[in-house]
Amino acid sequence: MTGAASPAGPAPRTLVLVLAPSLGILDSWLPVLADARVTMPDTRIVAVVPERRTVLAVDPSDTMVRLAEEVVDEVIVPAVDGAMLRAPGLVAARELLERERLATAVARLVDAARWRLGRARRHGPMPSWQRALLRPLRPRAVRRAVVDLAAHIGTDAHVCYDVHVHRHPASAALVASLGPLPRSSLHHGIDVLRDDGRRFPIPDIERDVAVGLFSELERDAYRGVHGLTDPVLDVVGIPRHDPAWMRRVIATSAQLHRPPSEDVVFVLSRPAGTSYLPADRKVASLAALHRVVCEQYGMTLVVKLHPKERDDGTIAAGLPPSMEGRSWHRVRAHPFHVAEHALAAVAFHSGVLIDMVALGVPAIELIDVRGLPEHDRPDAPRDARGRPIHSALRAHGLVLPADDEEDLARWMAEVRRDRAALVDRLRTAYRAAFPDPDGAIAAVRAGLLRRGPARA
């Protein structure tokens, strides 16, 4: 990640990790920042969070949160009234925001009134001048934590973020407020990104950017969506698949969690209600998983919820509640840790399936978009059976494709018959799509040492 005119220079005084669009960005950036903690010991690492809900969702027992507490020096997060607050870590930041009970309650009442009056629909969220009126409600701890973001970050800093924050107004505004600092980008999740036709160009003040691509296959997406040119696009591989980092993640998760470890099929859940995963199809898929995995083959399902997933009733509707803790379990362990004992992994579309492939676990994508108007279009790419292909991971052979219970049963039979052959098939596809991850962290680190403009 060196850019066009990007001579190496001294390490920046501060590395700024923008925690957006979700805590999932930790999976991509923490391997690099943990390396920087060792190789650039005089550099301060600051996490800046654009949206309060990200911090309010922090779970102290989450493996990546625990690792972030070891790596990040401080966290800066917005108060209800719009000020920026400094805390020594993610857990402390959550506790700080939880102290704003009165201001939060007032803000919710105002927002609710604005919706009833139609103002929120016409003018968006509560404007900054209204939020400023909440300042007298600050508790003492919040008053002490207020910080001037730009002054605190300084001018000798390097921003570590995901350029896709430009799709999200709040995150894009915060990134712009950091000024013309050099930036490096890694995507918050693993995918083979495609040009989806939407355009989110990078503002001129932020053009000093070096973008790390997980795969050469993503180059056209970054060109089209963000208007970036080849000199700032570097294929680096997937830093979180560095073997030493994976071992560190597993060891940390093992200190926190004890997942079931025999005849396990790992299910990576995700929120229902998207165009490609309506609630009824998610429920049907969960029920099929229980019938095939638990009832037909006598194996155990372990289910990990997506970081943004809330209890919408689909888990209880798809999996028998009376069998929780017996034929199926919820797990909070990190996916790398669960993979140590998983016979296979199943997801309704998730980049974590690529983590599973890297760890030698057969990865099944269980998703059926037949009949869904946004995805089963006449021009949609199709497989050999004429079925629409929603996922780029499926299109590149990086996952085992399953549309329904019949497909799922076939793959489970193959897992029992010749698991090694499935792993070899998927790893061959991985090597065709992604570089060797051994050099990924060093490649991104080179971008962190870049000084000067990234444009010719």
Q: What is the pLDDT of residues 175-194, one digit of tens each?
A: 999 989 999 999 999 999 99
* Predicted local distance difference test score (pLDDT) of residue 237: 96
Say if residues 55 and 20 touch (Cβ distance below 8 Å): no
Say if residues 12 and 448 touch (Cβ distance below 8 Å): yes
b or e along 74-87 (b: 16 or more beta carbons within 10 Å of the residue's beta carbon)?
bbbbbbbbebbbbb
- C-alpha atoms less than 13 angstroms from C-alpha of 272 in its C-beta half-sphere: 16
Q: Which band of pLDDT confidence, cut at 50, 70 and 90, is reported for residue 145?
A: very high
Angstrom distance (rounded) from CA 34 to CA 40 = 10
Identify which has the larger pLDDT, 418 or 115.
Answer: 418
Q: What is the pLDDT of residues 190-212, one digit of tens each?
A: 999 998 888 998 888 777 899 99
* Predicted local distance difference test score (pLDDT) of residue 146: 96
Of the listed ranges 43-52, 210-219, 254-263, 303-312, the least confidently predicted one is 303-312
* Predicted local distance difference test score (pLDDT) of residue 38: 94
* Predicted local distance difference test score (pLDDT) of residue 119: 55
* Predicted local distance difference test score (pLDDT) of residue 5: 39
* Predicted local distance difference test score (pLDDT) of residue 130: 72
pTM of the model: 0.91
For the CA atoms of 19, 100, 332, 170, what is the dihedral angle to 10 degrees?
Answer: -30
- Segments of 231-272 assigned E as strands: 233-235, 264-268
* Predicted local distance difference test score (pLDDT) of residue 9: 63
Residue range 367-393: mean pLDDT, rounded: 92
Q: What is the pLDDT of residues 4-31, one digit of tens each?
A: 434 456 788 999 999 999 999 999 999 9
- H helices of 51-165, in order, are 52-56, 63-71, 90-98, 101-117, 119-123, 128-132, 140-145, 149-153
Angstrom distance (rounded) from CA 336 to CA 251 = 10
Of the listed ranges 79-88, 106-115, 271-280, the least confidently predicted one is 106-115
Residue 450 pLDDT more than 80?
A: no
Angstrom distance (rounded) from CA 377 to CA 216 = 27
Residue range 215-240: mean pLDDT, rounded: 95
Residue 400's closest CA among 363, 445, 450? Answer: 363
* Predicted local distance difference test score (pLDDT) of residue 192: 92
User: 3-class DSSP state for residue 414?
Assistant: helix
Residue 405 pLDDT more than 80?
A: yes
* Predicted local distance difference test score (pLDDT) of residue 6: 45
* Predicted local distance difference test score (pLDDT) of residue 440: 94
* Predicted local distance difference test score (pLDDT) of residue 30: 98
Which residues, 6 or more positions from 247, have their beta carbon under 8 angstroms from its beta carbon?
Answer: none
* Predicted local distance difference test score (pLDDT) of residue 452: 41
Q: What is the pLDDT of residues 84-131, one digit of tens each?
A: 999 999 999 999 999 998 878 887 787 777 667 665 454 556 677 677
Residue 456 pLDDT more than 70?
A: no
* Predicted local distance difference test score (pLDDT) of residue 114: 67
Q: What is the pLDDT of residues 319-352, one digit of tens each?
A: 999 999 999 999 999 999 999 999 999 999 999 9
Residue 249 pLDDT more than 50?
A: yes
Percent of the chain residues topping a pLDDT of 70? 93
For the CA atoms of 154, 160, 166, 168, what is the dihedral angle to 10 degrees?
Answer: -90
Average pLDDT, the chain: 90
* Predicted local distance difference test score (pLDDT) of residue 112: 74
Residues constituting the chain: 456
* Predicted local distance difference test score (pLDDT) of residue 234: 93
Which residues, 6 or more positions from 435, have their beta carbon under 8 angstroms from its beta carbon?
Answer: 215, 235, 236, 237
* Predicted local distance difference test score (pLDDT) of residue 110: 76
